[in-house]
Amino acid sequence: MLQQTRVEAVLPYYERFLTRFPTVAALAAAEEDEVLALWSGLGYYSRARNLRRAAREIAIGGFPRDYAGLRALPGIGDYTAAAIASVAFGRPHAAVDGNVLRVVARVENDASDISSATVRRRFGAIAQEWLEHSVRAVGKAVREPGLFNQAMMELGATVCLPKDPRCAVCPLAAVCRARGEGTAAQLPVKLRRTAPVAIEAELLVVRHRGRVLLRRRDASARRMAGFWDLPAPEDLPQASVEKFYGTFRHTITHHHYTFKVLAAEPPRGRLAPAFRWFSPEQLARIPLSTTARKGLKLAGVL
């Protein structure tokens, strides 16, 4: 849940999720729609799907205890596999996140572009060398490399800050080349490769007898397959707009959307199978897109 998402935004979702799915077996047995409904609003929904898939594999084959086995689980990348392997099982793998990349860039005074996969791999190799050296230097007193990884991540999160790094209290100040050269504030370097794109769009809030009309995304959709959305004007070309509720902004990667939320009359005739009416109480039990959630809040439905 913390991938690309702030801790304060995650906490209520985390608590609800663990209340409903306290064990791997409970998550493995759940329907995908229920998992997505509890995740609704966090975004990056492939994380929820992969988490459920991983739970199903673990329920059958057990929890992997090494890096390779963890890395093979759905949704587990290099960083997550290394973090779990080191913290939970004492395996010597450096966990390299954005905080660690920043520490490496500054200690090495390296202005290479960290958005490059080649540079990230090289910085990861440096962090791995540091981990192995620390374990050799301390010896048996270090029970698990997870201590090193947690210290590195904490250093980046609390001392080696993106802006105004606290160099005066940093335990690595004596060996930090960027501090010596006065370049710490300029590192790491991350070049913007894609210019932001501004997009304007409209969403329709259609109500009838206390219910609201939603459209389900096709199961083969590239993004958010199976989620429920507010219809756009092109989905209901004969709908008559009655009222303007307001606008909200929503960002997906480098696309910056401005959505205008409008009230529209119920369409006449038979609706396509993708459409369905929902009561406000039912909305909490379905996978609802973030844009639909924001639009319904603006219209006073949620």
> Confidence class of residue 108 from pLDDT cuts 50, 70 and 90?
very high
| Least confident stretch, 2-6, 125-129, 183-187, 254-258 | 2-6
- φ/ψ region of 95 (left if φ > 0, alpha if ψ in -120 to 50, else beta) reads beta
pLDDT at 64 over 70: yes
Q: Would you list the domain boundaries of the chain?
A: 1-63, 75-193, 197-298
* CATH fit for domain 1-63, picks 1.10.340.30, 1.10.3720.10, 3.40.50.620, 3.40.1350.10: 1.10.340.30
Q: How confident is the model at residue 238 (pLDDT cuts 50, 70, 90)?
A: confident
Q: pLDDT-based confidence at 146, cuts 50/70/90?
A: very high
Domain 75-193 maps to which CATH number in 1.10.10.10, 1.10.1670.10, 3.40.50.720, 3.40.640.10?
A: 1.10.1670.10
Give residue-wise pLDDT tens across range 268-300. Answer: 888 899 999 999 999 988 999 999 999 999 999
Please, are residues 29 and 21 in contact by the beta-carbon 8 Å criterion?
no
Task: Give strand pairing partners of 247.
Answer: 260
The class of domain 197-298 in CATH terms is alpha beta
Sequence-distant (≥ 6) Cβ neighbours of residue 37 within 8 angstroms: 284, 285, 286, 287, 288
> Among positive and negative, which fits the CA dihedral 44, 49, 55, 61?
negative
Token pair of 104 as six digits = 């490496």
pLDDT band at 141 (very low <50, low <70, confident <90, very high): very low
Higher pLDDT, 262 or 143: 262
Mean pLDDT of 127-135: 89
Rounded Cα–Cα distance for residues 218 and 239 (Å): 22
Residue among 168, 132, 138, 172 at smallest CA distance from 155: 172
pTM: 0.77
Q: Above pLDDT 90, what percent of the chain?
A: 80
- Per-residue pLDDT at 183: 95
Residue 226: left if φ>0, alpha if ψ -120 to 50, beta else—which one?
left
